[in-house]
Amino acid sequence: MDIKQLQDRIRNFRLEDGDLGSQGYNRVLLQLFGYLGHGKSSFINSCKYVLQDGENFQEYAEARETDEGLTMVRNAYPLTDVITMVDNRGCSKMDGFEKAEVYAQLGNFIPIGQKVDWKSNFKTMMEELEDSELEPNYTDFIVPIFVYSARCQIQHETKKEMKLFMENCIKMTGVVPIIVLTFKTRGDYMEIEKEFRRIGAEQVIAIENYTNTNHIKTLGRTTDILMVIYSTLKTATFRLEQPRNPRREKIERKKFLLNYIHQINLHKVIEKEKEKEKGSDGNNWCVLL
């Protein structure tokens, strides 16, 4: 498919077009997540850019080199009437609570426009989940997009953890996250793609984001970025070809999330206890020396 055909497919995408219709959904949300500074906001700008004609680059989602992480709010950026991209605060360490927050977003338990706080305790996490009941959302079909910089090698010891993370993302959405490898020209993206496929990724697309300082439209860059959007739509269409029950699915996801939060809390309590014991052992050890 050439650029014009890809653009047309994306612009004209309708959830009603499948055999079973939209099944109650009225929007596809492309929910981005990933580490700090890996190019999530830039990817949103790139997607908006490749869907418009001309080379008037605009920064819709603010992107900047920063150690602190720039995006703090779960902001929405419509691409068409039906497709909306959702930016996200970058994870710094992907610990249990950060992952729980990602799962909560993937399950659409966090309202759009809300500041994303990495919770560090059981109580606030549970309160947030309870609050989500006030305005439950059953009409967004979420496609998760994991944005990962090709400049970063995947550490051997984190592979098992990442595999589990991918599996949990599938449980929260019914969809295998689409992997977008940014900084395509700055790292060995083919090697990283292989790693992601080994841990269960089905669609891995390497791209070079368009940025404020580098946005001359090229055929390859534009095609790669359009292919990501097109892939998300193919995924949504495939899932909607099977009967869906958004309410039942939401309940199942909430159960999974509650159990997950309970488990990480338990793990944290045990770790704390161990630390305490180690502390006293450590003193003994010092005395022995």
| Binding of residue 75 to Mg ion (CB under 5 A) | no
| Binding of residue 182 to ligand GTP (CB under 6 A) | yes
Residue 85's DSSP bridge partners are 30, 77
Considering only 59, 60, 70, 154, the residue that binds ligand GTP (CB under 6 A) is 70
Binding region for Mg ion (CB under 5 A) out of 34-42, 130-138, 264-272, 278-286? 34-42
Considering only 7, 31, 42, 75, the residue that binds ligand GTP (CB under 6 A) is 42
> Shortest gap between Cβ of 179 and ligand GTP (angstroms)?
14
| Binding of residue 31 to Mg ion (CB under 5 A) | no
> Shortest gap between Cβ of 65 and ligand GTP (angstroms)?
4
**Binders of ligand GTP in range 160-179 (CB under 6 A):** none
> Shortest gap between Cβ of 86 and ligand GTP (angstroms)?
12
| Binding of residue 41 to ligand GTP (CB under 6 A) | yes
Interface map 208-237 toward ligand GTP (x if CB under 6 A) = xx-x--------------------------
Residue 135's DSSP bridge partners are none
Binding region for Mg ion (CB under 5 A) out of 33-41, 170-178, 251-259, 277-285? 33-41
- By a kind-dependent CB cut-off of 5 to 8 A, residue 42 interacts, out of ligand GTP, Mg ion, none, with ligand GTP
- Answer for the pair 100, 261: CB distance below 8 angstroms, yes or no: yes
Q: Which residues bind ligand GTP (CB under 6 A)?
A: 36-42, 63-66, 69-71, 90, 182-183, 208-209, 211
